[in-house]
Structure 1
Amino acid sequence: MEGSAGDQASVEDWLHSIKIELGNLSPFSNWSIWSVPANLGENVMGMEMHKWHYLWYLLSRTENSEETLEACGKTVFGLDKLFELTMAKLLSTLNLRLPRCCCLMRDLVLLENQIPFIVVERLFKLIVKPVNDNSLFEFALNFFQPVLQMNTRNVCCFNREIRHLLDLLHYCCLSSTPKATCPRRVETSFIPCATTLHEAGIGFEKGEVTKNLFELKFEKGLLKMPTLRIHESTASLFQNLIAYEQCFHDRERLVTSYFLLMDRLVSTTGDVEMLVNKQIIENDFGSWEEVAGFLNSICKHLVVSQDFHFAGLCDQVNACYNSKLYKYKAELKRRYFTSPWTITSLIAGILLLSFAALQAVYSMLPYYHSFQPPK
C-alpha cells in the first residue's frame, strides 16, 4: 500500500474535516466516529460510507477478496476493525504521526473495542502480505511507539498468548521492566509530595531516554524518572491499561502502581511545575491544574491488592526523607546557596572571619614571644 504525496494530502484533509466534540467524552469512549456502532444515530452514518469505501479499496487490491468479505461478516466489529487496521497501515505508510493519527491510536486501545487477537491477526493478513508470523507484533509496536514511551526493540511476545491489542501493549510494559523486589499494599508505602521531598534535600532528575517509563531508580538521594509525556492519546492509553489491570487479577498491576506513585508525588500545581522544570513531565495536556487533576483522579476508587510495584523504592525515599543529615544539608543549601548573591555573601563572610582570625593570631605573637624565657 504505497502512498503518494497526493494520497497523503487527501488523507490529511479528510482527517482534518472530521469535526466532533471531545470535551465531554469519557476516556473509555470512542473518540472518533470510525469505530462507533451504527445504532448511535444518523449523524454518524456518513462515516459508514467511508468504511465501505475503504473496504472496496482493500478488496480491489487483494486476490482473496471473497475471504476478506467473509471474515468481516463473521465478526461483530469486522468492518470497524478492518477499517481501523487499513487506516493504521495507510497512516504508517505515509508516515503520518501525531496528532493526525492520535484518534485512531486512541480508539484502538479502548478496552471496549478489543476483540480476540486471532481475529485481528486474520484481518491483518488480509490487508498486507506478512513477511513472517510475527509481522502483526512488529507493526503494532511500531505504530504505537509514539505513545508507548518505552524501548520495544527487545520485546518478545512470540512465546506468549496475546489476548488482544491492549494486552499486547500491557505485556510490552511488563517485559521491559525489572521485577519488583518487595511488592506490598500501597497504604504501607506512602511518600510525601515532590516539593516536600525536594525541600528535604531529595533531588529529582530526568532518567535515560532509552529507558522504560516505569524503570525508576533512587540513588544517593536522587530520584531518576524517565519523562512522562501527557497528552490526549497517552492519557487514554494509561487509563485503559489501568482498567485492563483491574479486570484481570492474573495481570501484574504495573501501570496502576506507577500512577499511584505519581498521585503521591503530585499534590498541587507546584509539584507539577517542579516536575515539568525537571523534565520528568512533558505537558501537552493542558494547564498545570489539569495535569494535577488528571494524575490525582486516574487511580481514584481503585481496589489495590498486595502488589504495589514501587514499595521498595518508596522505602528508600522515606529512609532518606527521615534522615536528619539530608534535612540539615537541604536547609543549608536553601539558606545559603539559593542565589549567587547569598553564595557571594557566604564566601565574603568566611573570608572576613578568616582574616579576623589571622589578625588575632598575628597580634598575639609578640606577646607570646615576650613571655618566652631567654636561652
Structure 2
Amino acid sequence: MGGIGSASTSIDIEELLKEVPDSLQTTLPEEMCIYHVPVDIRQVNKDAYTPQVICIGPIHEKNENQVIKELKRRYFKQFFNRLPVEKRKPVLEELVKTITDGAVEIRNCYEDAAFELCKDPKGCEVKIRNCYEDAAFELRKDPKDHEVEILDCSEDDSSKRCEDQKVFWKMILWDAVFIFELFLKNREFKEDKKSQGKKDKDKSQGKKDTEKYQEKYKYDYIIAKPWLRSAVQRDLILLENQLPFWILDDLYGIVSKYIITGCSCLPKTDCCCPCITFPELTCTFFKKYNKNKTSPKKPLHFTDMVRSFFLPKDLDTKDPNPKDPSSPPIKKLYRATRLHQAGMKFKPKPDEHTIKSWKEDDSIKKGELHFPTLVIDDQTDCIFRNLMALEQCHYPYEAFICDYVKFLDFLVDTQEDADLLIKSKVIVNRLGESDDVAKLINKLCQGIAEVSSCYNRHAEALNEYYDSCYNKSKAFLRRQYFKNVWIGTGTVVGLIVLFITLGNFVRSFF
C-alpha cells in the first residue's frame, strides 16, 4: 500500500512541476511601476480610477471609443506636420525601432504582465496576446447565445486582431505622439493667450489679433474646450492610464530636434522649440498642481510626477526619518473642534504648497497647528485617490500623501470640523457644502493600509495639548470672558473694582 501511495505522490509531484515552467520569474520585475488599483480600494469609488475621455496604455484601451481613436490619428498627423517633409519617414522609423527594442522593458513596467508575449500556433514570431486587463481571451456570447473566445487585442479591423507585434508598438506610438502634440498645443495656447493679453492692453491692435488668436484654436477638439482640457488632464493622472515616463522622454528626444517652430532661442524665450525638454512640457501641462514649480528628475509616469509636486523639495532633514517604519500609525487624535475648545488654533501657510513641513517647531506647544492651504474641488477626490493608490502599491513605506490624508481624516470627523478648518482658511472649499468636504475626507482612507505615519509626533503633541487642564481652563476663560474687546474690557474693569472693594473691606478692620 505504501508503495502505491509513493508512486501516486510521485506522479502528482511531476504534474505539479510541469505547471511551474523554468522561465517563470520568482520575483516581480524591477521596472514595475504601473499597477491595477487594488480591489478593496477601487470598490469605494470605481469612477475615480477609470478614464472618462482618453485611454492611455493597455489597461483601459479596450474601452476607448472610435471618436478618440480617430482623434489620436489626427493629432499624429498634426504632430508630424511639425517636422520637415524629408525627416518624417526616418524619424518615424527611429520611433518604431526605439519602441520595439524596449518592448520587454516597457512590458515589465506593468503589473500582471499586461503585455504578455506568446508565440503563435505556427511558431513564426512573437506576438502580443494580453494587451488588456486581466485576460487575453474574453468570453463573449455570439448571436446564437453560444459563448465564443475572442482575442481582445483588437485594432479597427476585428478580423486582424493580434495579427503581430504592430498591436503593441502602434499602441505605444499613437499614445505617445498624441501626448506630445497635446502638450505642445497646450504650451502654445498658454503662450499665445499670455501674449494676446498684453496686446489687448494696446487698443491700437484692434480686434484682428483677437480673431486670429481665436481662429487658431477654435476648431481643435480638446484645446478649444476648457472642460475637455480639464477632463483629459484628469485622465492623464490616473494610475492605470499611464505609459512609462522614460519611453516618452526617449521618444520626444528623437523628434524634438526636428520640430519646426521658427524660434530664435533668444534668452528668456518661452516657446516650444527643441530647447524645451519633455519634463518641462509635462510640468507646464500639469502646472495647476505644480505650485512650487519643481521639476522631478526621473518620475516613473505622470501619476508619480504629480505626487512629487505635493511633497517637500528636500526630505533629507535633521528630524527622525519620516520614512522609518518604526514610526507607528496614529491610533488616537482628537478632532478639530475638540482641539479648538482646548485653545488650539489652526493657521494656514499660504506660501507653502507641499502637504507637510518636515521641520520641527514648537507651534503646537504654543497652541497653533500650521497647515499648508488645501484647495478641495471636484478633482480632489480623483487626484488624491490615484496618488494614494500609487503609494499603496509602490511606496508603502514612503506613503506621505496617505499619511497626510489619514491625519486630516482624524481632524475632520463632522461638518463642524470641516467648517472650522474652512473658516480658519486651512481648507479652501470649492466643492459646495462643508458637509461634502467632511464626507470626501472621511471616505478617502477607506481600504488604505497604514504601515507607519510621519504625523505620529504631531498627533501625540496635539493629544498632550488637549489633555492639559491648564490649556482647557485658559481656553474656557478666553471664550467666556474675553470673546471681544468690550467683554474683555468689562471683565478687566470688573476684576479691578473687585480687588479695590476687597482691599477697602480688609482695611476697614484695621
Q: TM-score, normalised by structure 1?
A: 0.77
Separation of aligned partners in 2, 1:355 and 1:315: 44
Secondary structure at the aligned position of 1:122 is classed as helix
Residue 232 of structure 2: aligned partner: 104
Separation of aligned partners in 2, 1:156 and 1:166: 12
Paired residue for 1:328, among 445, 470, 473? 473
Structure 1 position 186 matched with structure 2 position 186: no
Q: Is the 8 A contact 1:68 1:123 kept in 2?
A: no
Alignment of 1:259-338 (within 5 A): 259-305=405-451, 307-338=452-483
Q: Is the 8 A contact 2:353 2:373 kept in 1?
A: no
Separation of aligned partners in 2, 1:337 and 1:233: 41
Structure 1 position 163 matched with structure 2 position 332: no
Alignment of 1:97-246 (within 5 A): 101-125=229-253, 128-129=256-257, 135-148=277-290, 150-153=291-294, 157=297, 161-174=298-311, 176=313, 178=315, 181=320, 183=322, 184-188=327-331, 190-215=332-357, 219=363, 220-246=366-392
Separation of aligned partners in 2, 1:182 and 1:322: 27
Separation of aligned partners in 1, 2:227 and 2:491: 51
Measured at CA, do residues 89 and 214 of structure 1 come closer, stay the same or move farther in structure 2, by a change above 3 Å? farther
Q: Per-residue CA shift, 1:195-226, capped at 9, x if unaligned?
A: 11111111110024145232266612210001
1:317 Cα deviation after fit: 1.4
1:61 Cα deviation after fit: 0.9
Report the number of matched residues. Answer: 332
1:347 Cα deviation after fit: 2.9
Give the structure with the larger helix fraction. 1
Q: Is the 8 A contact 1:230 1:283 kept in 2?
A: yes
Amino acid paired to 1:181: P
Separation of aligned partners in 1, 2:299 and 2:427: 31
Paired residue for 1:56, among 61, 69, 77? 77
Which ranges of structure 2 fall in alignment gaps of 5 or more residues? 1-44, 100-165, 194-222, 258-272
Q: Is the 8 A contact 1:265 1:271 kept in 2?
A: yes
Q: TM-score, normalised by structure 2?
A: 0.58
Separation of aligned partners in 1, 2:355 and 2:340: 21
Measured at CA, do residues 245 and 75 of structure 1 come closer, stay the same or move farther in structure 2, by a change above 3 Å? farther
Residue 53 of structure 2: aligned partner: 32
1:295 Cα deviation after fit: 0.6
Residue 37 of structure 2: aligned partner: none
1:121 Cα deviation after fit: 1.1
Separation of aligned partners in 1, 2:244 and 2:356: 27
- Higher mean alpha-carbon deviation, 203-212 vs 121-130, is at 121-130
Amino acid paired to 1:151: N
Which ranges of structure 1 fall in alignment gaps of 5 or more residues? 1-23, 369-375
Q: Per-residue CA shift, 1:164-223, capped at 9, x if unaligned?
A: 2222333444452545626523244x2111111111111110024145232266612210
Q: Is the 8 A contact 2:333 2:411 kept in 1?
A: yes
Percent identity of the aligned residues?
Answer: 24
Separation of aligned partners in 2, 1:58 and 1:266: 48
- Higher mean alpha-carbon deviation, 50-59 vs 263-272, is at 50-59
